[in-house]
Amino acid sequence: MEKVLVANRGEIALRILDACREQGLSAVAVFSEPERGAMHVREATETVCIGPADPRRSYLSVPALIAACELTGADGLHPGYGFLSESADLAEICAAHDITFVGPAPEVLSRAGDKAAAKRMVREAGIPVLPGSEAIASPEELDRAAADLGFPLLLKAASGGGGRGIRVVRHREELSPSFTRAQVEALAAFGDGRVFLERFVPSPRHVEVQVLADTLGNVVHWGTRDCTVQRRHQKLVEEAPAPGLPLGLREELSRTAVEATRALGYAGVGTVEFLIEGDHHYFIEINPRIQVEHPVSEVLVGRNLVSEQLRIAQGEKLGYRQSQVEFWGHAIECRINAEDPSREFLPSSGRLCLRQLPGGVGVRVDSALYHGMPVLPYYDPLLAKVIAFGETREEARIRLYAALRRFRVSGVSTNRKLLIEVVSHPDFAAGRVGTDFLERMS
């Protein structure tokens, strides 16, 4: 692999461009028509317009991406996160065109992308999973599965991620209409309307483990991350390591994540996600891509996770054992989104006025922002990730509070003030959080 097409936009596109430079690889940035002035386009030495603003005709268009590879001679493609990052079809078409897909093999993406099937495979390997059903094909199956699980329960899309396609059903009369809406939502978001049921846990912790596996069978983990602070199943605050976990549970999660990775025949960088209910942990899914929250793991380990992806995709050996992975300190990340919390988190668009970005010891900002940038309504509202780190969690938390206060933009609404409230809340400071933390805080 000598030239990589960066099949994404925003801050993750910048990260991939930087990692390609570190690895001595050429890179090509793609962009939609209204993003000609985007930061990732400015930073790239070679660029290709792949279509109009509508992501279905640009960033989600497999023909457009393959054509861009052929036009530029790119023999690799990095999908980033979101968009087509979990597409087995894209990975398969890349293989057919002798393009290295920076991610798992198509068959692995198919296994990991079907959440119900992935749960079945890891359950057969002896890994605990939340009680649930297979994909539901009829009203009769829906009624039987719901009767077996009992209420409340979760309706979940079989494909996709990012918190989409998930609905809580608390009473039987809500089941049928919620099922129909979940099917429509899943089909629109992922092109796959299959839905399954899962037991609902009211206030769990959401903890994940970063894993890396090469094509030679070597697997390591980079420890835990806590992603419990969420809004409508979408993460807002992430930290590593997950605070307050007993050592035994932390070790068990890491061991289980490696076992799940092996059970799925996985090769690449991925995240194994768990729900924690008291002393019990349950596998919920494996995300076969780079995660938005990967910087907190990079801080802990002192390595570049995107560079690791590129190395693995080229067939290189990991080059280190688990015993050689050393962990340092604590890191916390907040996602600053262009949305208005006072208006049900309505996405906000407009022209960005960049007033101040934080910096200093123990602060990192991952973004593609620039003064005068148009914040477009077509894409995810993520503006920036503010990461703070220190020797202790409290040191990282205090630095994050100060960094958020210094993050100042205008022209669009953001969730910055809400995030300041979260990181300064006594329960967050004490690590007393569940997935319903925002509801309890308000």
Matching residue, tokens 């198919």:
110
H helix intervals, 238-392: 247-263, 294-301, 305-313
The C-alpha atoms of residue 9 and residue 30 are separated, in whole angstroms, by: 8
Q: Which of 289, 335, 364, 416 is catalytic?
A: 289
The C-alpha atoms of residue 426 and residue 104 are separated, in whole angstroms, by: 41
The C-alpha atoms of residue 145 and residue 178 are separated, in whole angstroms, by: 15
Judge contact between 88 and 103, C-beta under 8 A: no
Tell me the two tokens of residue 137: 């094909």
Strands, DSSP E only, in 325-362? Answer: 330-337, 339-340, 346-347, 350-351, 353-356
The C-alpha atoms of residue 198 and residue 407 are separated, in whole angstroms, by: 39
Distances 190 to 25, 186, 292, 411 between C-alpha atoms, Å: 31, 6, 19, 31
DSSP code for 131: -
The C-alpha atoms of residue 381 and residue 352 are separated, in whole angstroms, by: 13
Judge contact between 242 and 207, C-beta under 8 A: yes
Strands, DSSP E only, in 82-165? Answer: 100-101, 153-157
Give residue 234's identity as a one-letter amino acid code. Answer: Q
What radius of gyration, in Å, describes the C-alpha atoms of the chain?
21
Judge contact between 437 and 427, C-beta under 8 A: yes
The C-alpha atoms of residue 342 and residue 30 are separated, in whole angstroms, by: 35
The C-alpha atoms of residue 349 and residue 374 are separated, in whole angstroms, by: 8
The C-alpha atoms of residue 27 and residue 21 are separated, in whole angstroms, by: 8
Tell me the two tokens of residue 86: 């979990």
Tell me whether residue 289 is one of the annotated catalytic residues.
Answer: yes
The C-alpha atoms of residue 165 and residue 158 are separated, in whole angstroms, by: 9
* Active-site amino acid positions: 289
